[in-house]
Amino acid sequence: MQDDAPLAVLGAGSWGTAVAVLLASNGRQCLLWSRDPAHAACMAATRRNARYLGDIPLPAGVEPTGDLDAVLDRASDLVIAIPSAGFTTFVEGLRGRLADNARLAWLTKGLAHDTADTLDCVIASVLGEDRLRAVISGPSFASEVARGQPTAVTVASPDIAFAETVAGWLRNPVFRVYTSDDMLGVELGGALKNVLAIAVGISDGLGYGANARAALITRGLAELMRLFQAAGARPETLMGLSGLGDLVLTCTDDQSRNRRLGLALGRGESLTSALQAIGRVVEGVTTAEGVMRVAGRYGVELPICEQVYGVIHRDMPAQDAVQALLTRDPRPELGASFAD
Ligand SMILES: NC(=O)C1=CN([C@@H]2O[C@H](COP(=O)(O)OP(=O)(O)OC[C@H]3O[C@@H](n4cnc5c(N)ncnc54)[C@H](O)[C@@H]3O)[C@@H](O)[C@H]2O)C=CC1
Ligand SMILES: O=C(CO)COP(=O)(O)O
């Protein structure tokens, strides 16, 4: 693959735009596709993405476009940056349109909307097991990355050489990239941390303090560990950037949309008005549903995720959800293994 061939980022929201800015600042030509041609034209004319990352000028190497066919003609290295709710349908729409040598990475954190499978499973089943693919995950708020603030992430792929290739697209002196072959662990960490951040936001929004926040993060980590063990992900991935790193970031900083949704719910706002005010994707809302299916599939208890599901999808009052957690049967903290 030639290094002067353009890369393409598919999806022009906050994170897709920030990564396009990063790639261009690394010297790569980067096509930035928006599904809305008027949005692409506006970005091309103003050299900004006013709707999602308005204060960041787009470097010359970023080429906004609304023409997906033209993108697929010109670029064979594709980075998908659309929310999980539309991921499967979007990937199905790529079937039969990709060059044989097309390689895919994605920035999406979540589970397939219809099946609750990991997004890696979606890509492998729709585009073929042999398709080179990688997920990019870790603690990385879009606006900090776009501003060039120091950040570290993980790229995971079943093909470690391809993980290194993708890492090479992204790396620069302020953007540090590690690699992993534990796709499952990296994807589960990225999906669950959004649900857990809603839980922590709810607790903070209800006015509970730092003790409750630390307890929720720690017990959230135990839920992740339990799921990792049941699903066959590697426990050490949990201690990495896509696990603990992103969990801490998202649970503790108000840049997180998932945390902000929880804060609003804890303060008594309705789900609809809180989502409207945020105006961006809040992945934990859809993932809360998927996680319940995953928990059933593997027969694991995920009590914090379950309460978030109850608040969001079953109209449970936030206060009752916290009460339900506090009054669970007492148990040893770690049990026979860390995951109990
Ligand atoms: N914003 C951030 O700091 C980070 C976001 N992520 C993840 O990246 C993914 C994308 O998030 P953001 O860009 O932040 O969301 P966003 O809400 O800022 O933008 C989403 C973009 O995707 C487009 N879109 C939605 N459905 C689509 C579809 N079916 N086909 C084509 N385009 C579609 C929207 O028009 C919008 O441009 C999410 O899974 C999120 O968890 C990961 C790391 C950091
Ligand atoms: O994934 C993120 C940072 O790593 C962004 O989190 P939010 O989607 O909660 O804003």
Residue 126's domain is classified under what CATH number?
3.40.50.720
Query: Is 114 in the same domain as 237?
Result: no
| 140 shares a domain with 15 | yes
Answer yes or no: is 15 a known binding residue. Answer: yes
Decide if 289 is inside a domain: yes
Query: For residue 334, how far is its CA from the centre of ligand 2 (angstroms)?
Result: 29
Ligand-binding site membership of 333 (annotated) = no
CATH no. for residue 333?
1.10.1040.10
Own/partner long-range contacts of 296-303 (Cβ < 8 Å, ≥24 apart): 297/116, 298/227, 298/230, 298/231, 299/230, 300/223, 300/226, 300/227, 300/230, 301/223, 301/226, 302/223, 302/226, 302/227, 303/219, 303/223, 303/328
Asked if the model's pLDDT at residue 55 lies above 80, the reply is yes
Q: Which one of 192, 246, 280 would you pick to mutate in the ligand 2 pocket, going by the greatest count of ligand atoms within 8 A of its CB?
A: 246
- Residue 175 shares a structural domain with residue 201: no
The predicted model scores a pTM of 0.97
Average pLDDT rounded to a whole number, residues 3-29:
95
Residue 1: the pLDDT is: 47
Residue nearest to atom 6 of ligand 2 (CA): 256
State the ligand closest to the CA atom of 281: 1
Q: Are 329 and 273 members of one domain?
A: yes
Say whether pLDDT at 92 is over 90: yes
> If you measure from the C-alpha of residue 335 to the centroid of ligand 1, how many angstroms do you get, rounded to a whole number?
39
Within a 13 Å sphere around the CA of 32, how many CA atoms are in the beta-carbon half? 30
Ligand 2 binding pocket includes 250 (Cβ within 6 Å): yes
28-52 residue pLDDT tens: 999 999 999 999 999 999 999 999 9
Averaged pLDDT, 83-95: 98
pLDDT value at 339 more than 80: no
Q: Which ligand is nearest to the CA of 255?
A: 2
Residue 1 lies in a domain: no
pLDDT band, residue 335 (cuts 50/70/90): low
Indicate the pLDDT class of residue 170, thresholds 50, 70 and 90.
Answer: very high
Does ligand 2 have an atom closer than 6 angstroms to the CB of 109?
A: yes
Percentage of residues in the chain having pLDDT higher than 70: 97
153 CA to middle of ligand 2, Å? Answer: 13
Q: Is 193 a catalytic residue?
A: yes
- Catalytic choice (28, 113, 133, 193): 193
pLDDT tens for 229-248 read 999 999 999 999 999 999 99
Asked whether the predicted pLDDT for residue 126 surpasses 60, the reply is: yes
Number of domains in the chain: 2
Q: How much is the average pLDDT of 68-88? A: 98
pLDDT of the residue at 275: 98
Domain membership of residue 2 (yes or no) is no
Percent of the chain with pLDDT over 90: 93
Of 181, 215, 244, which residue constitutes the final position of a domain?
A: 181
What's the gap in Å between 281 CA and the centre of ligand 1?
A: 6
Considering the domain architecture, whether residues 28 and 130 belong to the same structural domain is answered as yes
What domain range is 116 assigned to? 7-181
In a domain, 65, yes or no: yes
d(CA 146, CA 143): 5
Same domain, 36 and 170: yes
The answer to whether position 243 is within a domain reads yes
Is residue 283 pLDDT above 60, yes or no?
yes
Q: Could you report the per-residue pLDDT of 171-182, keeping only the tens digit for each?
A: 999 999 999 999
Query: Residue 336 above 80 pLDDT?
Result: no
- Which of 147, 181, 215 is where one domain is finished? 181
